[in-house]
Amino acid sequence: MALYQRKDIRDNLEDSIFGSRDSEIRMPKYRFPKTESDPKVILEVLKDELFLDGNARQNLATFCQTFEEQEVHEIMDLSINKNMIDKDEYPQTAAIEERCVHMIADLWHAPESKNTVGTSTVGSSEACMLGGLAMYWRWREKREKEGKDTSRPNLVTGPVQVCWEKFCRYWDIELREVPMERESLAMTPGTMLEHIDENTIGVVATFGLTFTGKYEPVKALCDALDQLSGEKGIDLDLHVDAASGGFLAPFCAPDIPWDFQNPRVKSISASGHKFGLAPLGCGWVLWRDRGDLPKRLVFHVNYLGGDMAVFQLNFSRPAGQVISQYYEFLRLGYEGYRKIHMNCYRTAQYLAASIEKTGLFDILYDANPEKGIPALAWALKKDAKVNFNLYDFADKLRSRGWQVPAYSLPKDAQDVVVQRILVRQGFGLDMAELFMEDFRRTLTFFEGHEVVTPLTQREAGGFNHAG
């Protein structure tokens, strides 16, 4: 899809990007080049152009990995030509994917008596789409068997990532996103029940909310659904969107009963490329039992002359991310994941304490492993005597390369503007101290430079990954 209109770009067709170093080079931007060029020159020019991007390691907005060991680069290089869908040509890669599914099933307490199935995906969005689709089909098949209406499906969720809005829009399902309770800043059993009716296909709980980092209370939501089933006969499944928490809680808060330990949890999705520590382009979705994945959604490809079932939106897909995921599992094990993630929690806690010490901000979430992911979120105190808003603050921090998004919370709490930091491997205490120096420098700057026209969310342009 063309994102730019031709008429808007025609004026820029002749832009030169080199000028000072090699004035003979002009990078074609909108017209297909007629001739070949020297690969070294093109590589250099491209590298230079990429300097204009933000520095990924200073991107404190993203949940995704921005640090990889050298071995991962080697694996990605080795597998650049492997297609994940070609199970017959690359049977060992297919076997590695299967091993990952088994290992994740183990991590998420899949019941041994069940036939847990799963697949790798491009990321959590595809994984959520597949989990949601299976849930929708199960609900529809059940209703059709009972001779009931299936024309007005709805999905009940807390404050979800945009992938669930997409899911609902693409499949024509009403999204019933419960408004954010000010106290809990998440869906509670009470608010969930208020939104359910007989057309509800199921519930999505987010284990690591995009807006604050907090975990939604999966067990309490399941208990409330049990009660609803007993009282009204409405029997609903739950999908856990554990994009971040799925590879955190098993190592750092193993006692939280958020996963397949709850019989109502029929599917779970997570991003391998977030706290699974795989490079970008890796997600996972697992179903409690083969029976929870409707047969008609499954397609079949060749595998060693035989047949392998697949359920994915894409056909061709790079395999390196999945092989790297397996590398990380073997390389780190339970202990390694725990060490890396606990260091992230400690760094985030240091940041939360330091920001609170300034006396100007309320900390909304402070990276407690029992409550959420290694992130922190804060808002300006109501009575803070300052002459800037958080959008101005985010904008000024960018002048030192730090990307720290500021955004308003969803429905019912939209007047609360927050700023959030995600701590991932590669952002340790040393970097955090340097960040805090810039944070305090920014406060001092605003003491001397009053903001005359405050920025808006749109102008500050911070991307919060909620969509």
Measured CA to CA in angstroms, residue 292 lies from 142, 263, 266 at distances of 12, 12, 7
CB of 313 to ligand PLP, least distance (A): 12
**CA–CA–CA angle 149, 153, 154 (5° rounding):** 145
* Residue 58 interacting with ligand PLP (CB under 6 A): no
- How near is the Cβ of 128 to ligand PLP at its closest, in Å? 6
Q: What 8-state DSSP symbol labels residue 318? A: B
- In whole angstroms, how close is the CB of 48 to ligand PLP at the nearest point? 28
Amino acid in position 98:
E
Instruction: Answer yes or no whether residue 119 interacts with ligand PLP by CB under 6 A.
Output: no
- Residue 202: left if φ>0, alpha if ψ -120 to 50, beta else—which one? left
Single out the residue of 126, 159, 163 nearest to residue 407, CA to CA.
Answer: 159
**Amino acid occupying residue 31:** R
* Shortest Å, Cβ 213 to ligand PLP: 9
Site string for ligand PLP, 321-340 (x = CB under 6 A): --------------------
User: Which has the closest alpha carbon to 411: 332, 351, 331, 466?
Assistant: 466
Q: Which of 118, 123, 159, 369 forms a contact with ligand PLP (CB under 6 A)?
A: 123
CA distance 461 to 458: 5
Q: Tokens 């100007």 sit at which residue? A: 360
Which strand ranges, in their side-by-side order, compose the sheet holding 375-380? 361-366, 375-380, 417-422, 406-408
Instruction: Provide, rounded to whole angstroms, the least separation between the CB of residue 87 and ligand PLP.
Output: 23
Shortest CB 279 distance to ligand PLP, Å: 12
Is 177 one of the binding residues for ligand PLP (CB under 6 A)? no
Q: Are strands 200-206 and 238-241 parallel, antiparallel or unpaired?
A: parallel
Residue selected from 161, 325, 347, 442 as contacting ligand PLP according to rule CB under 6 A: 161
Options 99-107, 240-248, 316-324, 364-372: segment touching ligand PLP (CB under 6 A):
240-248
Give the residue with the Cβ less far from ligand PLP, 375 or 390: 375
125 forms part of the interface with ligand PLP (CB under 6 A): yes
Contact at 8 Å (CB) between 122 and 314? yes
Instruction: Using the rule CB under 6 A, give the single segment among 18-26, 165-173, 241-249, 408-416 that binds ligand PLP.
Output: 241-249
What pairs with residue 241 in β-bridges?
206, 269
Task: Check residue 418 for interaction with ligand PLP (CB under 6 A).
Answer: no
User: 436 by DSSP, 3-state: which?
Assistant: helix
Q: Which of 241, 292, 328, 392 binds ligand PLP (CB under 6 A)?
A: 241
Binders of ligand PLP among residues 7 to 26 (CB under 6 A) are none
Interaction with ligand PLP in 275-314: which residues (CB under 6 A)?
283
Residue 164: CB partners within 8 Å, gap ≥ 6?
128, 132, 155, 157, 175, 177, 204, 241
Q: How far is the CB of 297 from ligand PLP (least distance, A)?
A: 20
Q: How far is the CB of 123 from ligand PLP (least distance, A)?
A: 3
Alpha-carbon distance of 6 to 9, in angstroms, equals: 5
- From 79-87, 149-157, 239-247, 348-356, give the range in contact with ligand PLP by CB under 6 A: 239-247
- State which of residues 271, 321, 325, 442 lies at the interface with ligand PLP (CB under 6 A): 271
Task: Spell 78-91 as b/e; 16+ CB within 10 A means b.
Answer: ebeebebbbbeebe
- DSSP H helical ranges for 116-213: 124-145, 162-170, 189-195
Instruction: Report the nearest approach of ligand PLP to the CB of residue 243 (Å).
Output: 3
* 130 lines the binding site for ligand PLP (CB under 6 A): no
CB of residue 101 to ligand PLP, shortest distance in Å: 17
Cα separation of 176 and 83, whole Å?
Answer: 38
Q: Does position 210 bind ligand PLP by CB under 6 A?
A: yes
According to the binding rule CB under 6 A, does residue 124 interact with ligand PLP? yes
Q: How many chain residues touch ligand PLP (CB under 6 A)?
A: 16
Q: Is 163 in the site for ligand PLP (CB under 6 A)?
A: yes
Point out which span in 76-84, 124-132, 306-314, 453-461 binds ligand PLP (CB under 6 A): 124-132
**Which three-class secondary structure state does DSSP give residue 216?**
coil
Query: Which residues bind to ligand PLP, rule: CB under 6 A?
Result: 63, 123-125, 128, 161, 163, 206, 208, 210, 241, 243-244, 271, 283, 465
